[in-house]
Amino acid sequence: MATITKEAKYDCLVFDMDDTLYPLTSGLNLACRKNIQDFMLHNLHIEESQVAKMCLDLYKEYGTTMAGLKELGYGFDDDEFHAYVHGRLPYETLKPDPVLRSLLLSVPQRKIIFTNADKVHTAKVISRLGLEDCFDGVICFETLNLTPTLNFPAEKITTMTDDDLKSWTSEGRILCKPSLEAFETAIRISNIDQKRTIFFDDSPRNIAAGKAAGLHTVLVGSSVLVPGADLALESIHNIREALPEIWQDGEQFEPVLAATSAEAVVLA
């Protein structure tokens, strides 16, 4: 008798990186915010009394403070901003995480990082955590904002220089989570089926946007559910207990004869 293969429920896991693959208590988030505020004060000459509130308001409104500053018309080089903000982070607080590494390596599905951070910061964090060989792809700031085929009219791509690319993107709007467009672009370029993909993020608004984009969603860093979250995990280390179906691939079973079939009646 032929066997029927039941498909695995999921074929891709998408992970945010900062405060999702390592805990908020590392202090990186706080240090990063301080550096952004210093950049606003010293490089953009924003009034000191306004900086903290503006930093938070823009983050809430535009997804990242950087995206908000660009939207308000502040002109600065993206790489310079990232170097200033991430260059002085206390990366030494991040330690290799062999527990997470072996969990990720045992996951049979594709694994992708989807972060608003730039590629230098992403590489440093992943290296510090010892997770370099755990992912099949990374979607970061440069992927969404410096990919000519996504942001440029097709006829211009071949004639543009690197400087053209830079000026085009630094004048344009920044694409980042939680915008639905950022999710849709990430889904398209990584060629995933959102109905068969689980998205992990520590940010409730990213979770809500991920749900709106059709993904299965898991809030990380809190056990309290938020709107749009299918599941909430205190730590990414808990995924095996919370989502055992990730490891259940393609069960095979014998088809059961329908009770109404002639054969079943005769054999009964």
CB under 5 A: which stretch of 13-21, 84-92, 100-108, 216-224 binds Mg ion?
Answer: 13-21
Residue whose CB is less far from Mg ion, 24 or 83 = 24
CB under 5 A: which stretch of 54-62, 197-205, 212-220, 226-234 binds Mg ion?
Answer: 197-205
Pick the binder of Mg ion from 202, 221, 229, 232 (CB under 5 A): 202
Quickly list DSSP for 180-243.
HHHHHHHHHHTT--GGGEEEEES-HHHHHHHHHTT-EEEEES-SS--TT-SEEES-GGGHHHH-
**Total binding residues toward Mg ion, as defined by CB under 5 A:** 4
Distances (CA, A) of 217 to 106, 207, 213, 236, 242: 20, 6, 10, 13, 13
The least distance separating Mg ion from the CB of residue 49, rounded to whole angstroms, comes to 28
- Which residues are 15's β-sheet partners? 113, 200
Is 235 an interacting residue with respect to Mg ion (CB under 5 A)? Answer: no
The least distance separating Mg ion from the CB of residue 82, rounded to whole angstroms, comes to 16
Structure tokens at 118: 């730039």
Pick the binder of Mg ion from 12, 14, 16, 58 (CB under 5 A): 16
Residue whose CB is less far from Mg ion, 190 or 206 = 206
Residue whose CB is less far from Mg ion, 70 or 121 = 121
Pick the binder of Mg ion from 10, 13, 14, 18 (CB under 5 A): 18
Residue whose CB is less far from Mg ion, 69 or 113 = 113
Sort strands 4-5 and 252-253 into parallel, antiparallel or unpaired: antiparallel
> CA 249, CA 39: separation in Å to the nearest integer?
48
Residue 9's nearest CA partner among 149, 93, 109, 134 is 109
The least distance separating Mg ion from the CB of residue 117, rounded to whole angstroms, comes to 9
> CA 225, CA 202: separation in Å to the nearest integer?
11
Structure tokens at 196: 């068969």
Residue whose CB is less far from Mg ion, 19 or 184 = 19
Positions touching Mg ion (CB under 5 A) are 16, 18-19, 202
